[in-house]
Amino acid sequence: MPMLGSLGTILAIVLVFSVLVFVHELGHFLFARRAGILAREFAIGFGPKLFAFKPGETLWTIRLLPLGGYVRMAGEEPETTELKEGQRVRLLTDEAGTVTRIYTDASTRPDEGFEVVVRRADFERGLTLVAEGPDGESLTFPVSPKAELISRGEALMIAPFDRQFGSKTLGQRFWVLFAGPLFNLLLAAVIFTALSLMNGVPKAEPEIGFVVPSSPAAEAGLKPGDIIRAVNGKPISSWEALQAIISQNGTVPMTVDIERDGREYRVEVAPKPVIYIEALTHTSQIELVPGDEVVAIDGTPLKSLNQAQALLEQARGKEVTLTVVRDQNRTIDVAYDLGKYALTLGETERIGVSQARDHSVIAAVINGPKETLLWIERIFAALGMLFTSHNPLNQVGGPVAIFKLTGDAAERGLSTLLFWTALLSVNLGIFNLLPIPALDGGRLLFLGIEAVRGRPIDQAKESLVHLIGFALLLFLILIVTWNDIQKLFLG
């Protein structure tokens, strides 16, 4: 059932991306604060500021383009708090004579402070300001480590060297960079845990949770709660073992020993063949996944794999409608374009039962991290397939595809939207760890080089590499985005 209208879908998309970005940047921010690094700005989005507030040292902003975010830390870029010799400024000091504010223009609070001419300023190590007073005398002022330079009403705090990113140990810098992707993986684990609480965790033991009406299992009298102990006299200890023996058995009737309410029963069940999706290349959708049972193609009920393959052959180059089975025998119709994407169907045997689920908190807490690790493995496997694919662009999606899929997930309900958010969070975490310049993984690579050579790489050279990497990354995003537009709207 759709849960949102078009406006709600847009809001859901914005909310999902904002949460993913916020959690990622929060990881960087918290570990930067823990290391004593000055975080100048915590931004959600890029471009012009829509909203900003500054409760402490950090300026918190929401910007126009919701395509990312950043934490701007002191020392990552050349500092802009320098004063030039001969520059006229006004100083505001505390009772001890320590400079707390420096006004660099005449229009900002002209009644505050006293005017001097700067001769030398050290805001990184010495924290002193040498100036010429009104009568030409030389004056030396201590500068507060939290002093602010104020120009046109905008305040910028100075950053002593011990509060800059580059002053920290390799370990501290590693955790600051690694924390963003780590927090995305932790977010995914939390969401998977919540989904496990909502939907339950499939039990490992062969206990029946649902019986499909009119299926072989229903006709044999199997019921939810039955525990399958043996098939054809062979003991069954897990759901996977049950699936394997049914598949190996074919359509031959088999004897099934079950336990129900402490008593044992024996029934005969004849598995029936079902058609399922074995593989598909259309990755810019979430309606179909490998393993889905297909019961009809373009409204024609399926009776055999040969028939299904013949129907796909007749529809080659066209769009077909696949009717697939969802939980508890619910079916949905999904359009699939055979002109652009490949689809492989397979045949196996099933009896029409699904696993029982454990709704306990302990099971959910254990399953959340396990599900996250499972998807990490799948993502790395998919990354490996990019190098063997004939058309890798069809295997990836850019912002357009991701926005569309997020909207599709929102329309399919809260559970689907949460699941998709968790997948996006895992993907964001893994993607940012790739050793690509401008990404967290690229910066971690430079830390590794620094650890090996015993000294850091020149900041200007590293910044140039990241700039080039960022430009190439933007170029790749443009290519993938255009490919998405062609696939989704111009095809």
Task: Single out the residue of 84, 128, 135, 83 nearest to residue 114, CA to CA.
Answer: 135
Strand partners, 258: 228, 265
Contact 268, 253 (CB under 8 A): yes
Q: Helices in 135-292 by DSSP H: which ranges?
A: 170-199, 216-219, 239-249
Q: What is the dihedral of CA 223, 229, 232, 234, to 10 degrees?
A: 160
CA atoms within 13 A on the CB side of 241: 15
State how far the Cα of 312 lies from the Cα of 343, in Å rounded to an integer: 9
Q: How many CB atoms lie within 10 A of CB 171?
A: 11
Verify whether residue 347 is a known catalytic residue.
no
111: buried, middle or exposed (CB in 10 Å: 19+, 13-18, 0-12)? exposed
Contact 262, 225 (CB under 8 A): no
DSSP for 187-216, written as a single string: HHHHHHHHHHHHH-EE-SS-BEEEE-TTSH
Task: Single out the residue of 41, 42, 49 nearest to residue 25, CA to CA.
Answer: 42
Contact 124, 79 (CB under 8 A): yes
State how far the Cα of 222 lies from the Cα of 258, in Å rounded to an integer: 9
Residues near 109 by beta carbon (within 8 Å), at least 6 away in sequence: 103, 150
State how far the Cα of 148 lies from the Cα of 286, in Å rounded to an integer: 51
**Integer angstrom CA distances of residue 445 from 8, 178, 350, 456, 473:** 41, 11, 49, 12, 17
State how far the Cα of 127 lies from the Cα of 121, in Å rounded to an integer: 8
Residue of 25, 207, 287, 411 marked catalytic: 25
Residues near 89 by beta carbon (within 8 Å), at least 6 away in sequence: 83, 102, 103, 104, 115, 116, 118, 131
Token output for 328: 């508890």
Please identify every residue annotated as catalytic: 25
